[in-house]
Each structure stands twice: as C-alpha cells, then as structure tokens.
Structure 1
Amino acid sequence: MTEWTGEAAPGRPWWWEAVEPEATEDGLPDHCDVLVIGAGYTGLSAAIAAHDSGARVVVAEAGVPGEGASSRNGGMVGAHPRLSWDKMAAAFGADVADDLLAEAAPALDWAKTFIEHEKIQCDFEVTGRVQLAYTRSQFDGQKRLADKVREKSRVEVELVERSDLGREIDTGLYHGGLLFPQHGALHPAKYHRGMLEAVRRRGVPVVSHARVEAMTREGTRLVAQTAKGPIRSEKVVLATNGYTTRPFQWHLRRVFPLPSFIIATEELPENLIGHLAPGRRMMVETRARHSYFRISPDGKRVLFGGRAAMRDVPLHIAAQRQRQTMVEVWPELAEAKLSHVWSGYTGFSFAQMPHVGQHDSVCFAMGFSGSGTVIAPYLGAKAGWLAVGDARAETAYARTRLPRHVLHPFDRPHFLKAADLVFRHWVDRAEAWQARRS
C-alpha cells in the first residue's frame, strides 16, 4: 500500500505549493482582432505573438488560467520529436521528417530566448535529458536515431553505453541511453505564471471562467458565445489541446485527452538523491509506460510521472502503480513515502505529432502528444502569427497531419478503455519479457 506523509490531498500538484493558479478579474470585451481560446502555454504564447504583431487580442479561458497541463507536467525542457526519422518519413514524407528534426534546435533556442527576454523566473536550468533504453532493441534504435539527429540537425546528442550509465542514474534496469546535453528543466507553474504576467503587461485581457459554448459567423467576423457573453473577432486561435471540448468537434475527433499521472516523494536525504541521480538529468524511458522522472528543483524529492493508465483511474490506484514503477527503477525508494499525486491531460494525436493549421477559419496548435513544455508555447506563437498573416508562422509542423481514426468516431475517446486493457495486459508484459531476454 502507498504511504502518505499528509502534505497534500490527492490531486494537488507539488508545483502548486510554490505557485497556485489564480483566476483573473478581467472583463470580456465585445470585440477584438484575435480571440485566443485557452490560457495555457499555447494560448498565452499565441496571445503574445499576435499582440506584438499589432493585433488587439483577448484570451478566453474555460476555467482558471494554468490549472490544466501547464501547471501539471514534469517541467522537462526539450524539443526533440518523439518519433524516429523513419516513422516521421513514413507518415509525412522524407522532406518533412528532415525539417522536423532540423527545427528541434531552433525551437529549443526560441524557448530559452523567450524565458530570458520575458524575464520569467521559473527555475530554468540546462541539466541535459537522458532517454533510457528499456530493452536492447530499443538501445539499438537509439543508435540509429542518434545518427539521424547528427545528420539532420544541430542538436547535440551522445550515446551512453550500459557500462557508463552509472554516471547518470543508479539502476540496473536499463540497457543504455541517449543524452541530449542541451535540454533542461524548469518549474512549470512558475513558467506559466511568468507567461501570464508577460501577457498582462501587454494589456491583453485574460478572462477566466469564459468557456466558449458556440461559434457562429456574422459577416466576415466570428462570434464566440462564452459563459460570460459574446465576443466578436476577426480571427480565432484554438489553444486547448487535451482540454478541448465542444463546439470544436473537428479537433475533438483528432486530438484526444490521455491522462498522465505524477507522484512526489517526501523529502529525501541529500546523499540519497546524489546516489540515485548523480547526473541530475531529466530522465525518460523508452518503454510504453512513458515514465519520466527527475529531481525536484529544490533538490529534495523525486518527481515520477508516466502512464499509470490510458484512462482516468482513482488517484490512489495511479499512485500505487507509479510507486511500483519507481521502485523498479530505484529499489532504494521502497520505504519512501509519497507527499503528492496528481494527473493532467496530454493532447495526443493519432500521428503522435503536433500540428499547426487552420480549419473553418480557426487557427490552432495542438496534438503535442506529451512533449508540450517547449513545443506548446513555440507552436502557440506560430499559431498566433498564422492568425495575423505573419511570415514567422512558417513551420514544419504545418506539414504534419491530424488524422482521424476508425476507433474514434465520436467526441469522446471510448476506445481508451480497450486500449488500456491491451496496454496493461499485453504491451507492458511483452516489453518486460523482451527486457528480461536482452
């Protein structure tokens, strides 16, 4: 059973102990040039880009700005595509795959420059990130990926053989790793608060509790009916990703919410932290559990996230599953208590890649598929520029796709119940079997 320290009720992110999302008091204007729907990373970045291009911008948020994925993620800073070059080439063509890899370095540079320019105090640090190979075949795939990254981009990447892995993490679970030394870490809730403050400094209204319930046309303008009344705009940017709801059915059927669950341990002895993670890197796995873990910014806890389930489950069950995986990685944490457990929704596309585009006069950036800390604000800016016709909107992510799938014909992703059973009873066990045989 999971033991608790009593620091927080289940559902409250550890990040909120430093910065808790707060509702804004801005009123809803009756018109604007660009209406941004969603006040997370994507929407706030889109608002800054459109405003700085000369547009009058309003941000409408269904709930409280930042209470979604923007303050619930792992705070890992990297812009490398989650798919291999071969898979991207098969899905979008070789030229697009080349350009997606090439865009990783500029996207990461953009994020670092944005944080510096806006003076966002978010505990940003270049820590490096290591992707840990769960099976020998996955490590072989990392070798091929490293070759492609070096060939197609200016991203730095290093292979870490199993014999050298101890300098990064104290565990015998993995077969090697792929190190991205330029990647980093930040405090996601502080990052969001800094972005929100940057938007407010520009005089852009950010309206809380203003869910968009309907969209209609009035001549050349779009009319959004919100919970706080109507607003007319020339352009709309949809920035809701895994929190998309009606009336945006076209997007709902292409991007579905996949939960991610994170636990935080109690404060641990400093010598134990140094023993577990001597490299102090951001760490992710290659196996289908998509575990990602790190030391907290204050250096006192382990934060451990991943796919405890592919659908919503009670948080005490998610905590038990995440704890079990954490102890597989670090048996030394078998007696450690947990202080927090929470979840948030990633917006997954069936292509497992983000897309920037326009549908029915609504610009959007979504489908980040678990890689949103850098890519969401970066592509949010692209969507903001797209809405105002700025040439800086150009991106290889406009040449990816948001395909539909026969398993998801309606608004709700009912297929995730069956997918969860397949994942837990077949995929996870098959990977464990392969790891034992490696």
Structure 2
Amino acid sequence: MKFTEFGFDDRLMEGIEASNYQQATPVQEQVIPHILEGKDVLAFAQTGTGKTAAFLLPLINRLLTINETQPEGIKAIVIVPTRELAVQIAQHLDGLSYFTDVSSVAVYGGGDGNNFIQEKKALTAGADIVICTPGKMMAHIKMGYVKLDRLQCLVLDEADRMLDMGFYGDIMFIINHLPKKRQNLLFSATMPPEIKKLANTILHNPVEVSIAMSKPPEKIVQQAYMVYDEQKIPLIQHLLAAKQYKAVLIFCSSKLNVKQLTRDLRRKGIKAGEIHSDLEQEEREAVLMKYKSGRVPVLVATDILSRGIDIDHIDLIINFDVPRAGEDYVHRIGRTARAEAEGSAFTLVNQKDQRKFLAIEKLIGREVEKMPLPEQLGKQPAYNPVRSKRPGGPPKKKFYKKRGERHQ
C-alpha cells in the first residue's frame, strides 16, 4: 500500500515525500487506518518494522484538523522507556511534520538546568505532542504547570520494556492525570501477561494487530564462541585486531561490565566509548556523535542502545554477555546489516549462559555457528546446554559482577 492511499493532509504528504517514504510496511498498513478512525490499538511489533511512523503519521494528520479549532494545549503524549528513543522519535517527528504547524517537545532525564527550563516552557505553552520518559514527565506534572485537559491521544511505545524497567507506577500516575475520554495506542514487542493487564486497564475495545517477530536478516553473519569468563576480553581484542571494522558495537548486560570493559580496551590502545545510565545526557550525545563520525570506532553499551540507535554503518555487533531473552538478541544484532549493508554478530557464551543461548537459537529458528578459539587463548568449554547448570573449567576470578547492580 502506498502512502498516497491513506488520504493524509497535503502538508503531511510533503513531509512524507521529503522523507522518501513510498510503500507502507505491514504494521503501518494495518495500524494507520484504525488510528485515523480514532480507535484504540494494541499492536505487537518490533523496532525496525516501521511502527514509529505507524503512530506518528496518523497522529500528525489528526492534529492538523484539531488545531484548526483548538490551537493551544497538549494534544498527545508519547511515553517511551529511554532518553535515546525519545530523542530519536522527536527527530523523526520533526522530519515528518516539517511542513505543518504541529509543535513538539522531547522530555527526558539526564539534562542540565537549561533543558529543564526549555521543557517547562514548552509544557506550559502546550506543545502539541510531548515525547517523554515516564519519570521525567511525572516530575513535571507534580510541579503543577502541565495542563493536560485538552489531551486527545496517549501512545505507549515499547511498553514491555517500560514494565521491565519498573515504570508501571510512573505510567499509571501520568494516565491518572489525563482526560478519561481519549484515544490510546499501545505498542509492544512481546506479549507477557503484564502487557495484557496494562492493555485491559487503559484500552477501550482495542483493535489488536500482531506482526510476527522478525528474524535477524540472513545477511548477518552470526557466530558464537564458547568461553570461560577470563577469555572474553582477550578474545575481543583478537577479533578487533583480526579485521578492520568501520564501527563496532559491544553490548554488555550491566553498566558495571560496560565501564570495566571500556577501561580494559582503552588500556590496550583501542579507541572505545561507553554508553550507560550513569552518564549525563550531554555526555551520551557527545559519545554518540564521536561514534557516528568514526572518531571512536568502538562503542560499549548496555541494552539501553539496543532499540534506540539508528546508525547505518555498524558492521560488527559483539554480545559480551548473552542477552536475557531472544527478543533482546534480535534487537541487538539488528543494529548491523542495515540499509542494504552487510554485518557480523559474535556472541560470547560462558557455561552458565549456554541454556539461555540455546533458547535464543530456538526462537530465531536456526543454529548459530560455534567457532573455535584462537590457540593462544587456551581450551574452551564444550557446547552442552542440556548439562550446563554451573560454570566449570579452570578457577576463575570474580568478573565484572556486583550484587544489586542495575542493568541500565
């Protein structure tokens, strides 16, 4: 289905054409008509399926009509789990709405006092669309100057991840300050019971749309290395030295691992940057800018970036730790082989994570090639996920783990 067939406003069509959008993706084709009709929607779709435009386009189109009679006030709120995703959606929105008078603001934590002042000004004036993280938006609402009485639409994006991160209470606080009569759109990559419960709480006779989980593109070279923990860093150093990569993204399961791995890579002369929740927003943006420009070719990050980064030239993904779920694995390695490019994804699997990796293989419907270690790294554990209950092999030092360490 072509975008010209949806009946969008001419001003919005100019933004669509400028963004070089022509053919709608399956989730856009199924979701957009229902949103245009004002229905509540429960959509199960992953990042990379075009879901952002699936709710932004009909939302902008609807606001163009509403603004003719109600020019002031916040009309829509899009709640997302991370700052990176908030910024990305805000940039996407700016492009699509460029030829319209629809205003927007991104509200997220981690900024300085100037950010707060700008957010307060936009919220007080009543930006049409607010893209926000739950905690920061809740803080603004508590201060009493956010007027939500004219709100028409609520969007929860990546709702499953927000619940995983413990934002249920913040989300419900925001919802309890919204008008009862509104359109609700809930997007989630997975369907845990908590999502069904949330949907039953806030949605009214929703249309349910489910887009099958996309498998990793075949052009991604997927390989796994069975390792003992102390072999991980030497293996990464070997992999980075064996081939010249334009941009490497290494995922760790905790920010403690990110910090330690980044320090170790830098000691070895490797230009590496880090992204995790302990950094201020300005620091994150500075690191990302260096990474995008190629000044820092290696970026080490938590899963905070698995869904919130859009860089086409990443040619290697390394999973320092096995992701906790198959969906996270798909999101992580999906950062490479974009825009018709090719890419590789290597996963380092210690003994205790072998069962977890087997579950990932079952989810993606293929066996990932198991690679031998370089001889200088010594013997590697056998891949035997059925029996792998406890780490074996040689004695190991405690490695990058700290009880109670938060993952983001």
Q: Which bracket does the TM-score occupy, shorter chain normalised?
A: under 0.3
Where is the strand percentage greater, Structure 1 or Structure 2?
1
Larger radius of gyration: 2
**Structure of higher RCO (CA pairs closer than 8 Å, 6+ residues apart):** 1
